[in-house]
Structure 1
């Protein structure tokens, strides 16, 4: 039976004092009662709210760990019972074997409903806490299906994706999110996780500093489109906002998932340093050029335009990658894909290039895009868009150039975190996206996907779409404007070497991700 639930959700932002558990609990009681009086039915507290966060070792934190159920959950249960609400908080947990965990607990009027143990650790956690061993649990409550994640878990798309595959409507997110001046809260990472899973994200971050760690604040309520409904940037307080949860909502993106193409998500190719068994190309400088185009009357007009443009270009190396936006023609004309590829191959030979482009082939009823890469000797590889594709065994593609491993994506495939992760697992150093203006691209979202997969990114979109970009973490960030026909950057060896360290990919917990490759019953 379909239920539409509307109620207020609250995120509490406060500054716990290190080691002062009783004082912190008293402040939590004060905040919880205040939020409940404001009408909140779901109240979320920060990570490690009872104890503070930056601990040196097990011995130091041992006086402050507690069981679940325990004293904190008993106090919160009383509040929930008195106010008919639900509370999520972070705390340091000890289990029956004496192991410590950075945990979150969901409490309601009936007591403890469920727990979650942080699975993706930040730098302070492994000094005292074990990783959680279970994939993201989801708890069915009268106010919706609630999952809990903690802080660093949001930096990996897998935990929140698993939550929504299990039916979660809401992710309650206790965090101690740290950062410097450039890390402006609320984090775009939280927004992306809400948006790509089409669920509510209730983020409760602490504020202040502790042993040199600066916490960003920015607690907020984020809706299923990734929009921040309400937030608190600095200081202590309560963020409260009405949310509406439909138990029979249709998740557009989940319907398009293709689990058969995601098997690489379960692999761990970066457990060891690259090069031991899989040879790497030499680190050399190379040029990347993204060319934004609009439609053309004919293929010959396209050729003349590109040839004329390239004659004026000044490259810095002999290693050149050109990414061209998806080609289209006036009056929706069709061309032969092989003819287009051969034409680009001739251009590649004339200018010493490798060229990535895409074309929506009319061979298929829905004009499904095909992305490909050509060099002077012809087409080096192509793939049909995996999501919303018509070939059931279509798979993602990485092509090895003499100076770079390039992963290819169409614009629609780039909307899925699985696509980026598979290409990264296949060894891509750079992801090249050739897209059209129909795909709703947002620069901040694509940058996060490149960052969390340790890859450079080159996107070519039509001029009118204003979506082209070249990006690599803190090294390169160039975006197009209406006046930009092209974007260019010279990559030097240390840039690609930084990506090949695979610092994010080395910390994945592959044993928790089985659900990502399973067909979910609709």
Structure 2
């Protein structure tokens, strides 16, 4: 449910306060602790608003925004998110075309909207093509307004191929703004192609991310060769909530936008949505076919949330991070020219083993010739062993598990990946090993981000592992690692072509993105585990996950780097020993690829990702709420 009673709320400071009082035998009436509610502790009605601007009609769009704000407030909404570039439209060829329709902050839009917000109490965020009053530079900006005036703004950092024709790179960092309803961060459209921006919002204590988009698709009938821009950015929003433990209110638009000067058209398909801190979809607008729609309010998609319920979930997600592991790669390295990356495309066959029942099938598993086959985790052990037994069966490097893994790889003349409990002195690690066709171990990786189950028996490793092979650059990880998005970032930066991930049972958290948002023929909605799907997409590499089948669900899958438009998400069929796919690495990409993603990063903003939360620079950055890290 999107709404829970305050009596059931047990997150953050309120939960600790009540727990202590109840344990001491003290009972407080509701009014006694009303004033002690944490920030965002009250129920709030929030909405993603489908608003359609008329191209190049700034004053008319401002008038329609005022009317829409009145309507939204009349519905009892307390925070509403409107789409990107809502006062100008989006489809402009160059800054000269856009220039007559930009606005300043403060400006015409704020002058018109603020009286409505003061009278109704509504808080809203809206996308504006902003002209900086001092420099004259144009920015793609999200503006947060409330009854008391301008709360803050965010200038888009993740600029796509259209943005760079019109807007300067953002210079506001990712801020988190205190409001009467809770702590709100703002993100814009293509920012969600990167994992870093929403992570920065979470690190600053955001409870809600307002995401503003104009997510476009190609028109029906477009030849495949010309359809590479069919990216449907709105199909990415689930990761912001699932990986960061925050509420996400994502607003995009519908309709067809036409530029009357050059005749170009953009088709927007709707799909505005609201997501819980657990990564579950609560509300979604219909995904619609192309149609000409009148400008103005086109839909209000609302639910009630308690923003502070994000706090405990967010802090649990962030507690799994290991900042020392990420420095300096995630903050300092840029790679427009990177000799690390695989330079020559090559064909590869990928395979994810699927096991049913409790027993190990390591002794009968082998890859096909020159194939990469990934087995389920703890590959030599029966499923479901208690932690103490897993630890008891731990063995040293070069022991019976690695010997058998290498034998099976050599027998198939291919590459085989599995994992085992590795003992070194008094410590046990969850270690992933890669064996090659010569019958040798080519690489080992000790899981760096342990799941709760792994922490009962394993110690954490200290470094990612990428192995150069004739198949490309193969990275090694575990299913537990994938819940921490920085691990994906490390493997992306290390220019991984394929991430091999032994997994266990299927996850209850699945891809919930509307299947109508996909151009591929078999969308993964409802059947694919979310975390490997997200890692492949955000890292722009192939991911192969060997796993178990439980009933109708499986953890065995092959996940492509561009699953919305081009590359498939394949899960093992019932009764199959494996799922296989032949492709090319490095992935060529469609509207995005790994190289473009690295080139487009704003590493100057990413210092907080590698700072320890106890670091004085980090603390001052977090308390400030906005602005970059500034230390003496």
- For residues 428 and 441 of structure 1, do their structure 2 counterparts lie closer, same or farther at Cα, with a shift above 3 Å needed? farther
Query: Which residue does the alignment assign to 2:622?
Result: none
Task: Tell me whether 1:206 sits opposite 2:298 in the alignment.
Answer: no
Query: Which residue does the alignment assign to 1:408?
Result: 476
Query: Which of 176, 179, 183 is the matching residue for 1:138?
Result: 176
Alpha-carbon separation, structure 1, partners of 2:427 and 2:317: 17
Task: Tell me whether 1:320 sits opposite 2:371 in the alignment.
Answer: yes
Alpha-carbon separation, structure 2, partners of 1:286 and 1:424: 19
Query: Which residue does the alignment assign to 1:249?
Result: 312
Alignment map for 1:367-386 (pairs within 5 Å): 369-375=430-436, 376-386=438-448
Query: Which residue does the alignment assign to 1:258?
Result: 322
- Partner deviation per Cα, 1:449-503 (whole Å, 9 max, x = no partner): 3133221111111233502112333244321233222111223468569897623
Query: Which of 440, 448, 457 is the matching residue for 2:543?
Result: 457
Alpha-carbon separation, structure 1, partners of 2:595 and 2:139: 26
Query: Which of 100, 103, 118 is the matching residue for 1:63?
Result: 100
Structure 1 residue 422, shift from structure 2 partner: 0.7
More displaced 10-residue stretch of structure 1: 179-188 or 166-175: 179-188
Query: Which of 387, 395, 415 is the matching residue for 1:336?
Result: 395
More displaced 10-residue stretch of structure 1: 369-378 or 16-25: 369-378
Compute the TM-score of the two structures, normalised by the length of structure 1.
0.89
Alpha-carbon separation, structure 2, partners of 1:112 and 1:353: 61
Query: Which residue does the alignment assign to 1:97?
Result: 135
Residue ranges of structure 2 left out of the alignment (5+ in a row): 1-35, 221-226, 259-264, 511-527, 620-632
CA contact (8 A) 2:342 2:586 kept: no
Query: Which residue does the alignment assign to 2:577?
Result: 485
Q: Which SS does the other structure have where 2:477 is aligned? A: strand
Residue ranges of structure 1 left out of the alignment (5+ in a row): none
Task: Tell me whether 1:167 sits opposite 2:205 in the alignment.
Answer: yes
Query: Which of 282, 288, 291 is the matching residue for 1:229?
Result: 282
- For residues 154 and 433 of structure 1, do their structure 2 counterparts lie closer, same or farther at Cα, with a shift above 3 Å needed? same
Alpha-carbon separation, structure 1, partners of 2:303 and 2:509: 28
- Partner deviation per Cα, 1:350-386 (whole Å, 9 max, x = no partner): 2212211112447799975221212234222212211
- Partner deviation per Cα, 1:321-343 (whole Å, 9 max, x = no partner): 12111122268352525220111
- Partner deviation per Cα, 1:19-77 (whole Å, 9 max, x = no partner): 11121112111111111111111121111111111112222221222211112112221
- For residues 132 and 493 of structure 1, do their structure 2 counterparts lie closer, same or farther at Cα, with a shift above 3 Å needed? closer
Query: Which of 3, 9, 12 is the matching residue for 2:49?
Result: 12
- For residues 367 and 208 of structure 1, do their structure 2 counterparts lie closer, same or farther at Cα, with a shift above 3 Å needed? farther
- For residues 52 and 281 of structure 1, do their structure 2 counterparts lie closer, same or farther at Cα, with a shift above 3 Å needed? closer
Query: Which residue does the alignment assign to 2:60?
Result: 23
Query: Which of 470, 481, 484 is the matching residue for 2:558?
Result: 470
- For residues 379 and 228 of structure 1, do their structure 2 counterparts lie closer, same or farther at Cα, with a shift above 3 Å needed? same
Compute the TM-score of the two structures, normalised by the length of structure 2.
0.75
Structure 1 residue 179, shift from structure 2 partner: 2.0
Query: Which of 604, 607, 610 is the matching residue for 1:511?
Result: 604
CA contact (8 A) 1:67 1:93 kept: yes
Alpha-carbon separation, structure 1, partners of 2:135 and 2:344: 50
Alpha-carbon separation, structure 2, partners of 1:187 and 1:365: 48
- For residues 296 and 27 of structure 1, do their structure 2 counterparts lie closer, same or farther at Cα, with a shift above 3 Å needed? closer
Structure 1 residue 151, shift from structure 2 partner: 0.7
Alpha-carbon separation, structure 2, partners of 1:30 and 1:279: 52
More displaced 10-residue stretch of structure 1: 222-231 or 128-137: 222-231
CA contact (8 A) 1:44 1:203 kept: yes
Query: Which residue does the alignment assign to 1:128?
Result: 166
CA contact (8 A) 2:539 2:594 kept: no
More displaced 10-residue stretch of structure 1: 88-97 or 381-390: 381-390
Aligned length: 508
Q: Which SS does the other structure have where 1:5 is aligned? A: coil
